[in-house]
Structure 1
Amino acid sequence: METAVEVLNRVWGYAGFRGEQAEIIDHVSNGGDALVLMPTGGGKSLCYQIPALVRPGVAVVISPLIALMQDQVDALRTLGVRAGFLNSTQDPDERRLVEYAFRNGEIDLLYVAPERVSTRATQDLFDGAKISLFAIDEAHCVSQWGHDFRPDYLQLSMLHERWPDVPRIALTATATMATRTEIATRLNLGDARHFTASFDRPNIQYRIVAKNSPQRQLLDLLKTEHRGDAGIVYCLSRASVEKTAEFLKENGIPALPYHAGLDAFTRATNQSRFLREEGLVMVATIAFGMGIDKPDVRFVAHLDLPKSVEGYYQETGRAGRDGLPSTAWLAYGLQDVVQQRRLIDTSEGDFAHRRNMSAHLDAMLALCETVECRRGQILAYFGEQPDGKCGNCDTCLQPPEAWDGTVAAQKLLSTVLRLQRERGQKFGAGQSIDILLGKKTDKVTQFRHDQLKVFGIGADLREAEWRGVVRQLLAQGLLAVEGDYGTLVLTDRSASVLRGDATVMMRRESERAAAKASRSKSAAPVVDLPAEAVPLFEKLRAWRTGVARELGMPPYIVFSDATLRAIAALNPTTLPELATVSGVGQNKLARFGQQVLDTLTAPG
């Protein structure tokens, strides 16, 4: 029987394993249970796909990604791996053919959705074949406190009860220590060996900017740094998705919308186009993205504040799966904080649920407001000790200034206090800022707020700076919002600042500094190739697009950009020479090798 590394080389065309892959594969191949935490793009799928080919029987892969199963199976078949899936998109005849192949050992991997596993028919099917292992992908979906909770995952503890001798491997790209414990408990993996790879994605540049016409800021990012690149833009609401997609299209950026309000056909069509066409931008709610294997997503942008660091990390992790330079960009403003706080206060969950949501939001706000390395803060959140400054996030490239904002905080808090105590009134941030700036607006004069002692005492800061003060006081829990209108109120911690017992440090970042941080990387070419190899790379991409269109599959399933770049740099003239390129396995060599050589030598 082949060894794991021989399978890796023959099927995938890779010379060796990365990180803990070899140890995980060896453990599972020998019948051990495993809980694997590995970042997106770290090679999680190999951790169960190779044991599936090494162990006798059929591996069952449980995945919530019905819309992507066809692509996952196509990718394996292109490698020469026998794979199939069972889900609700198939007609009865298609399902019967797959079930027959499963029972007779004619496939190596079977993908199924979690809700199907709990049915009697599927359990009887599993009883009728030799199962080599169970792989539970996106295992964080079992966490009831998590951002992707799927109730069907709670039933998967029965796998061990019904098939106790079949090894199980649960995998996720995002989990804090608490979530890992919950996964192990709920999936009955108490005795499983835990493997935790580094959460670091050094090729992703993390950048968070102050909101100021966010659609225009996004357009500037795409035109100056990511023209022609594939990317994902996340928005909080369906309306924002539609407006942003339309705005980008009007400004020459090919963009598609994706949200739950679209009919299933439109969603499926847009997702398919994003996977299969080059250079498209998907504007979506967080309903889009889990399991997206597209390796050449060059940027992930957020136009609204994510609810948690876990969600942010998982969403940004969809950029740069191929290891090439990519951008994670977030526009963040005062209204985001007000909106998220209001969503928590009005949520239907109990006190414990709201407290948990608040803790998640607090961690996300701390990431936004930090003056330290953003990557280091993300790694620390997941329990990993950062190794100094990363040198590839905005706070490292252009360190923001930390300033003593205690006096400014006292002025703002005093304004909120006087409105409430002297007038019995509560207002949003805008009114307090107008009072501090000494603006005699209609609203200020209507309520005689120009007669307050605090009127005009904040002229030393600009309006944008005062909005930053409010935002940071909210982030630090020194100020709160309440009600449908987001009115400002003091917290239990406000008094210590008003008395002068506490110092309030704040982050100041000039627009010039933010622009400099973004330009620092925009000049770096994404395609790092010798000049003579660039035309070859473009020829190979054009060939790949044509082949993928004929086969009805995403281009990256044929060959990734990284593999095409390596081929262009080597410019091989024989099949044995082409076989030395990482990512060119035996099946792809036999199927596409001569076409690649012909493309390289073709005129033009």
Structure 2
Amino acid sequence: MPGCGSPSEVSDATYSGRVTSLDLTPPPATATTHTRALEVLRSVFGYDAFRGDQAEIISTVIDGGDALVLMPTGGGKSLCYQVPALVRPGVGVVVSPLIALMQDQVDALSALGVRAGFLNSTQMPHERRAVEDAFVDGTLDLLYLAPERLRVPETLALLDRGQVSLFAIDEAHCVSQWGHDFRPDYLQLSVLHERWPDVPRVALTATATETTHAEIARRLQLEDARHFVASFDRPNIQYRIAAKNNPKAQLLDLLRTEHPGDAGIVYCLSRKSVEQTAEYLVAQGIPALPYHAGLGAQVRAANQSRFLREDGLVMVATIAFGMGIDKPDVRFVAHLDLPKSVEGYYQETGRAGRDGTPATAWLAYGLADVVQQRRMIDTSEGDAAHRRKLSAHLDAMLGLCETVECRRVQLLAYFGQESAACGNCDTCLNAPKTWDGTVAAQKFLSTVVRLERDRGQRYGAGHLVDILLGKETPRVTQLGHTTLSTFGIGSDLSDGEWRGVVRQLLARGLLGVDSEGYGTLELTESSAEVLSGARLVMLRREAPKAAKAARTPRSGARGAKVAVDLDDSAAAVFERLRAWRGATAKESGVPAYVVFHDATLRDIAVLHPSTLDELAAVSGVGAAKLEKFGAGVLEAVAAVSVA
């Protein structure tokens, strides 16, 4: 299937309560499984071929088998249950946690001619009854449920009254108690297999380590299912991690120089930081909206709706925002605070570039992030095993930040996949150097030792760096620390370089943070090895700021769709089509990508169709969209030709 901007992405979350009237007549029962699936792919979704493992997954489910699917965002997970649901007799039931997006997702399916409905707490009683009746009558193709509804006896009784073709468990990583999006209601989903043992199940997620993978299989009773693990590589995303230095200004520079007018997501750790960052961007002339759990439900819903429907908006959010967001043209995801785990980071950055064209994953990372995260773990609730697990997650994230090797290689290795240097991350494009920081580490740790001897006191990084630099600040002088033997012995490094040393010592566990919440520094068991000279400490030297990195993904890289270079004529058609799409989407009350993705518009602009038959040959134009939008597309194309 050409491109990553497939309809599978349009329907990759949850779906809504309208029932469309178009009936899909399945191919003859005598047709082979593959032939029937391919016919649905072509007639409904407008694509000529499956990608990767899609065909095998779909055949497995159509034939009644269970499947566990690990596939990256944009890889086409949704087709793996949508196509079987349209081929098998009965209604496909999709379990998804994303109530806020259900309406948009059903709108996307409706545009394809698929009969979809949802049941959730946002509906009025008469709306629920209409969907329930359609399910029982078999006049639905897909029914979407939030996981908590399966704890309601009435829902289970309803499913007994109809014919279920399959169960799809979307965002299956939510069942993992050690995961970043744990949802307790997912633990009850074993009821699907126990109550309906003959109905095939397919569980899908875009992110899972080997441990999480095993936990999903165990908790959902999918050990005997067929497991499909696609590559987690997103070659169109350029991963970059910058040393934090006035992060708001760094973010503004990124948006102005590389992403002017682009849609994107900025993640912040706290609600306060979300509000401040959104206000800052707006004051700088960049349209931005806040999103966090402290805002009212109506405000969150309105902001999310605007982000999905309008072009060029920046959403500043906590991690409460994003799962299941299907907006294909998110050109950047920026983190102003350190994510707690590589899984969370991968999931969040994966929201960029769903259409397969170049996108940026940018993170500002500094010493304060390490101190804050270490302190949060030390003071977290839970037993020692829980804190060890959190520390392991953080250590992996810090390792990704501090690596001098290809970031993509390290990111994929975390998920158990081998790869070669990508040529499309900051460490490949502007390789940092390493230096022997053993002596510097010994100087810093020796200062910590001397301060602990001084009435058992501990201090933060700034105070220790001032001592090493020989700064006679009021505090250093008042405390008598100018008399320490380490006072002034670190003048060979700058303040910024010393903070880089401290950050890396913390990242490697060679330096600790107090557990009382003050952010002061202390020795760890590993510190002694450094002080004695038994351990060499090689440190990363920050690379000098370079020219902006190339925006083109690797040529031919594992199925990546490289952005189409449009000549002047095609570019004019493309812009006219975008304007037509925007007006059509506004009139219909749906996001623009529900009408057509940019990738499809680009293909139309290049192929310049003049008849419906020619338009039908364009990837992404199915029968329903051809009937609904074909005349408008041809008129827009012709208008440019006439002009």
User: What TM-score, normalized to structure 2?
Assistant: 0.92
1:394 aligns with 2:426: yes
Distance of 1:30 and 1:549 partners within structure 2? 41
Look up the SS of the partner of 2:190 in the other structure: helix
Query: Match of 1:454?
Result: 486
1:520 aligns with 2:557: no
Query: Match of 1:590?
Result: 627
Look up the SS of the partner of 1:460 in the other structure: coil
- Pairwise CA distance, 1:422: 3.8
Query: Match of 1:563?
Result: 600
Superposed CA RMSD: 1.3
Q: Is the 8 A contact 1:203 1:325 kept in 2?
A: yes
Query: Match of 1:465?
Result: 497
1:438 aligns with 2:475: no
Q: Is the 8 A contact 1:256 1:270 kept in 2?
A: yes
- Pairwise CA distance, 1:602: 1.5
1:235 aligns with 2:268: yes
Distance of 1:191 and 1:149 partners within structure 2? 23
Query: Match of 2:22?
Result: none
1:118 aligns with 2:155: no
1:18 aligns with 2:76: no
> In the TM superposition, what whole-angstrom CA distance separates every residue of 1:436-456 from its partner, at most 9, and x where no partner exists?
000000110011111000001
Letter in 2 for 1:391: G
Q: Which structure 2 segments of 5+ residues have no match? A: 1-25, 28-35, 555-561
Look up the SS of the partner of 1:331 in the other structure: strand
**Which runs of structure 2 are paired with 1:215-234 in the superposition (5 Å)?**
215-234=248-267
- Pairwise CA distance, 1:522: 8.7
- Pairwise CA distance, 1:594: 0.9
Look up the SS of the partner of 1:459 in the other structure: coil
What percent identity do the matched residue pairs reach? 72
**Which runs of structure 2 are paired with 1:69-148 in the superposition (5 Å)?**
69-148=102-181
> In the TM superposition, what whole-angstrom CA distance separates every residue of 1:382-419 from its partner, at most 9, and x where no partner exists?
00011x21000000001100111111111111111111
Q: Is the 8 A contact 1:225 1:522 kept in 2?
A: no
Letter in 2 for 1:61: V
Look up the SS of the partner of 1:282 in the other structure: strand
- Pairwise CA distance, 1:351: 1.1
**Which runs of structure 2 are paired with 1:134-533 in the superposition (5 Å)?**
134-386=167-419, 388-482=420-514, 483-512=516-545, 515-516=546-547, 518-521=548-551, 528-533=565-570
Query: Match of 1:575?
Result: 612
Distance of 1:462 and 1:510 partners within structure 2? 15
Q: Is the 8 A contact 2:117 2:144 kept in 1?
A: yes
**Which runs of structure 2 are paired with 1:5-84 in the superposition (5 Å)?**
5-84=38-117
User: What TM-score, normalized to structure 1?
Assistant: 0.98
> In the TM superposition, what whole-angstrom CA distance separates every residue of 1:334-381 from its partner, at most 9, and x where no partner exists?
000011111111111111111100000000000000000000001000
Letter in 2 for 1:230: A
Distance of 2:553 and 2:126 partners within structure 1? 54
Distance 1:522 1:137, change over 3 A: closer
Distance of 2:186 and 2:418 partners within structure 1? 31
- Pairwise CA distance, 1:529: 1.3
Look up the SS of the partner of 1:507 in the other structure: strand
Q: Is the 8 A contact 2:358 2:553 kept in 1?
A: no
Q: Is the 8 A contact 2:400 2:411 kept in 1?
A: yes
Distance of 1:204 and 1:254 partners within structure 2? 23
- Pairwise CA distance, 1:520: 3.2
Distance of 1:93 and 1:523 partners within structure 2? 50
- Pairwise CA distance, 1:331: 0.2
Distance of 1:574 and 1:511 partners within structure 2? 54
Q: Which structure 1 segments of 5+ residues have no match? A: none
Distance of 2:255 and 2:553 partners within structure 1? 13
Query: Match of 1:535?
Result: 572
> In the TM superposition, what whole-angstrom CA distance separates every residue of 1:456-488 from its partner, at most 9, and x where no partner exists?
111011101100000000001100101322100
Look up the SS of the partner of 2:550 in the other structure: helix
Letter in 2 for 1:108: D
Look up the SS of the partner of 1:511 in the other structure: coil
> In the TM superposition, what whole-angstrom CA distance separates every residue of 1:256-295 from its partner, at most 9, and x where no partner exists?
0000000000000000000000010000000000000110
Distance of 1:233 and 1:527 partners within structure 2? 27
Distance of 2:281 and 2:552 partners within structure 1? 20
Look up the SS of the partner of 1:503 in the other structure: coil
Distance of 2:521 and 2:440 partners within structure 1? 16
> In the TM superposition, what whole-angstrom CA distance separates every residue of 1:134-185 from its partner, at most 9, and x where no partner exists?
0000000000111100000000011100000000000000100110111111
Distance 1:523 1:12, change over 3 A: closer
Letter in 1 for 2:551: K
Distance of 1:156 and 1:537 partners within structure 2? 45
- Pairwise CA distance, 1:204: 0.2
> In the TM superposition, what whole-angstrom CA distance separates every residue of 1:188-235 from its partner, at most 9, and x where no partner exists?
112111100000000000000000000000000000000010000000
1:549 aligns with 2:594: no
Look up the SS of the partner of 2:551 in the other structure: helix
- Pairwise CA distance, 1:521: 3.0
Q: Is the 8 A contact 1:38 1:199 kept in 2?
A: yes
Q: Is the 8 A contact 2:429 2:549 kept in 1?
A: no
Look up the SS of the partner of 1:497 in the other structure: helix
Aligned residues: 600
Look up the SS of the partner of 2:221 in the other structure: coil
- Pairwise CA distance, 1:307: 0.1
> In the TM superposition, what whole-angstrom CA distance separates every residue of 1:472-514 from its partner, at most 9, and x where no partner exists?
00001100101322100000000011011111111112332xx
- Pairwise CA distance, 1:80: 0.4
- Pairwise CA distance, 1:600: 1.1
Letter in 2 for 1:365: L
Q: Is the 8 A contact 1:224 1:522 kept in 2?
A: no
- Pairwise CA distance, 1:527: 6.2
Q: Is the 8 A contact 2:431 2:543 kept in 1?
A: no
Distance 1:12 1:178, change over 3 A: same
Letter in 2 for 1:34: A
